[in-house]
Amino acid sequence: MVENRRGGYCYELNGCFAWLLKRLGFKVSMVSARVAKKEGGFSPDFDHLTLLVRLGECWLVDVGFGNLFTEPKRVDSTDAQQDKGEAYQIVSKGKTRLLLRPSADETTWKPQYEFTLRPRKLADFAERNRYQQTSPRSHFTQGRLISKLTPMGRVTLTDEKLILTERGKRVEHLVKDQGEFNRLLAKHFKLLLPRRGL
């Protein structure tokens, strides 16, 4: 990921970050999360890998989810926790926790994902990782998705659109063709596609 400047997704990014944090002396656990579905309910176990870091308190750390918080969130606090103009909340649900954020109209809280506190090994995620990489039903095989943090928010590029988010405000621009995609990829991510494409 680092040498090839290719990025990654939760299993790779959070797996690598867990390794780094452990090397630096932190107490880190990889845990399973189930992502909230638009139609209700949650995805299967191991659909997302996130991290718990114990530094006095227990903190939720996630560098592999895309449009999410940028600073660790306290697991045992039910208060709203701010992050670059957005609010997050973690609530208990039996043996699990729910990571919540405000709905689009900011009148209610909606779940992002449900996570356990049970430590896991990277190998526990292997089957779901394989599914995400190869299944025609995985959203990761449906098209290209590139996203990164910026000083003011986030920039995301898909096959269809460029999304610029600054201080919680989102602006979308349609991508006309492959040429424009390549220009946006170079401009916002400093990435050039090989001739065979991505």
Give me the CATH number covering residue 89: 2.40.128.150
Which pLDDT value is given to residue 150?
A: 87
Percent of the chain residues past pLDDT 90, beyond the cut? 65
pLDDT tier at 62, thresholds 50, 70, 90 = very high
Same domain, 168 and 72: no
Q: Which two tokens stand for residue 140?
A: 């990761």
Which pLDDT value is given to residue 7?
A: 75
Contact 78, 87 (CB under 8 A): no
Same domain, 128 and 151: no
Same domain, 27 and 117: yes
Same domain, 35 and 102: yes
How much is the mean pLDDT over the chain?
91
Rounded to two decimals, what is the model's pTM? 0.86
Which pLDDT value is given to residue 184?
A: 96
Same domain, 109 and 54: yes
User: Is residue 27 within a helix (H) or strand (E), and if so which, with residue range?
Assistant: strand 27-35
- For residue 101, the enclosing domain spans 10-132
Same domain, 71 and 105: yes
pLDDT tier at 63, thresholds 50, 70, 90 = very high
**What are the C-alpha distances in Å from 89 to residues 3, 58, 86, 121?**
35, 14, 10, 26
The span from the first CA to the last CA of the chain, in angstroms, equals 15
Number of domains into which the chain is organized? 2
